[in-house]
Structure 1
Amino acid sequence: MHFPALPALPLTELLPHSLRQRVAQQFEQRLAGLRIPAFTVPAPLARIAARLPQQIPTQALVTALNLALGRILPRDQLEALSGRGLRIRVTDAGLTLDFTLGDKGFRRAAGSSTPDLIISASTRDFLALALREEDADTLFFSRRLLMEGDTELGLLVKNTLDAVDWSALRPV
């Protein structure tokens, strides 16, 4: 026996608007209560990652930064970064990401020169910072976030990240 296929309807169209809103609110409340568990990248995996070319993760980072540039990252406030070498070191993952801000946005930097600012933390702490689960000051004063080099540049980066309106990324 052959049954005709039913048209696919998204589940949200089957629910009344008020119920969709309630479900969305409950979902957001539950997500807000979630915390990133304490973890570190396993050492064998970090040793492998440290030996791999860093161009791919660096390109992923600069692509994300360029997508945010002008939208949630105010370019005029970042002018002091222009031409300056920046390095993100993900300590437990063996990643070292070198980049800079140029006229056309962020780009990978040649890793041979000493960067002006190095920011180091674990994967978990960078995630907590990005998700605003923890702030940079807390991580810095608990020595889980390290800044080396030009401290004025580090302060600029920290203040810019603190000022970002992450809600601008939410879909309407």
Structure 2
Amino acid sequence: MPRPFPLPLRSLPFDPASLLPGALRQRIAARLTTLQVPDFTLPAGLARLCARLPQQPPTHALTLLLNLALGRILPRDTLEPLHGRQLQVRVLDAGLTLNFSLTDQGFRPVIRAEAPDLTLSARSRDFIALALREEDADTLFFSRRLRMEGDTELGLLVKNTLDAVDWEALRMH
């Protein structure tokens, strides 16, 4: 049986930021609120290498994150139309193609990928900016930095769900 971590971060008896002097803490907080993901593209060689590697480990990581969010910030009832449909996320500059589906047990990797019902493609920087709410899906889509292929109804459902997510629910208090 795996041993749990000795003390989860959420149960620390103090705020780690309180260890910093007041002025430094305020400067760091101010910088973090204005921090933006720099514009970058991963090297082409990395994409060629990653494309040759098994795609299951990063797909498992993605589905784990999605399942952690499912029911907490991703409402199950809203995602019902995704049930049984194959989704694909392509991280273009990383050479990753992640195939997964929503089942009764949550998001699961698809082992034998067929033609996906919906494919979302972008650079890693754009997916990070989307997750951090620096940019919204519409901006990325209309600037051709996020591509959606396949079932447009599913694409709109995913986009609207991402827009409605309460990201503040993930913050530690």
SS at match of 1:75: coil
Larger Rg: 1
Q: Distance in 2 between matches of 1:89 and 1:111?
A: 16
Query: Which residue is 2:117 aligned to?
Result: 116
SS at match of 1:66: helix
Query: Which residue is 2:103 aligned to?
Result: 102
Deviations 1:43-76, CA, capped at 9 Å, x for gaps: 1111100000000000000000000000011111
Q: Aligned in 2, Cα 1:76/1:24: closer, same or farther, shift over 3 Å?
A: farther
Query: Which residue is 2:72 aligned to?
Result: 71
Report the alpha carbon displacement of residue 27 of structure 1 after superposing the two structures with TM.
Answer: 3.0
Report if the CA contact (8 A) 2:99-2:113 is conserved. no
Deviations 1:58-97, CA, capped at 9 Å, x for gaps: 0000000000000011111000000000000001110000
Gaps of 5+ in 1: 1-8
Q: Aligned in 2, Cα 1:23/1:47: closer, same or farther, shift over 3 Å?
A: same
Query: Which residue is 2:168 aligned to?
Result: 167
Q: Aligned in 2, Cα 1:105/1:24: closer, same or farther, shift over 3 Å?
A: farther
**TM-score of the superposed pair, with normalisation by structure 2:** 0.86
1:135 is matched by which residue type in structure 2?
D
Q: Aligned in 2, Cα 1:82/1:39: closer, same or farther, shift over 3 Å?
A: same
SS at match of 1:167: helix
Identity of aligned residues (%): 66
Deviations 1:77-132, CA, capped at 9 Å, x for gaps: 00000000000000111000000000010000134310100000000000000000
Q: Distance in 2 between matches of 1:27 and 1:34?
A: 10
Report the alpha carbon displacement of residue 35 of structure 1 after superposing the two structures with TM.
Answer: 1.2
Q: Distance in 2 between matches of 1:153 and 1:37?
A: 30
Q: Distance in 1 between matches of 2:92 and 2:25?
A: 36
Report the alpha carbon displacement of residue 29 of structure 1 after superposing the two structures with TM.
Answer: 2.5
1:158 and 2:147 correspond: no
**TM-score of the superposed pair, with normalisation by structure 1:** 0.86
How many residues end up aligned between the 2 structures?
A: 160
